[in-house]
Amino acid sequence: MQEKAILIDKRDNVATALCQLGKGDSVQVGVEDFTSDTALLENIPFGHKFALRDIQKGGAIIKYGEAIGLATKQIRHGEHVHVHNVESQKGRGDKQ
């Protein structure tokens, strides 16, 4: 049976939608013996990420067990995590 979303590493604080997910949907993801439940606060497009817990402004977004960027604002558990609330730490010629 097809899963709704996937968690790659248990250290991750985001999961990836495996289909179009809607606001209010409840989604469970897991890896090995670890599971995490989320009630989505907004629609999540196919292939996009949502937060598995609250992430403070400036906190690292973790995927593959590694930091993929920093939160530019407070992100609530169940919110869409993408370019509107995450910035890269690499290739920032604009910050020199």
What DSSP assignment string belongs to 35-69? EEEEE-SS-B-TT-EEESS-B-TTPEEEETTEEEE
Q: Are 75 and 55 in contact (CB under 8 A)?
A: yes
Minimum CB separation of residue 49 from another protein in Å reads: 7
What's at 1, amino acid-wise? M
Closer CB to another protein, residue 33 or residue 95? 95
Structure tokens at 95: 């910050």
Minimum CB separation of residue 37 from another protein in Å reads: 21
Minimum CB separation of residue 8 from another protein in Å reads: 7
Residues that bind another protein (CB under 8 A): 1-3, 6, 8, 16-18, 45-49, 61, 63-64, 66-69, 81-83, 86-96
H or E element at residue 80: strand 80-81
Closer CB to another protein, residue 35 or residue 72? 72
Minimum CB separation of residue 40 from another protein in Å reads: 15
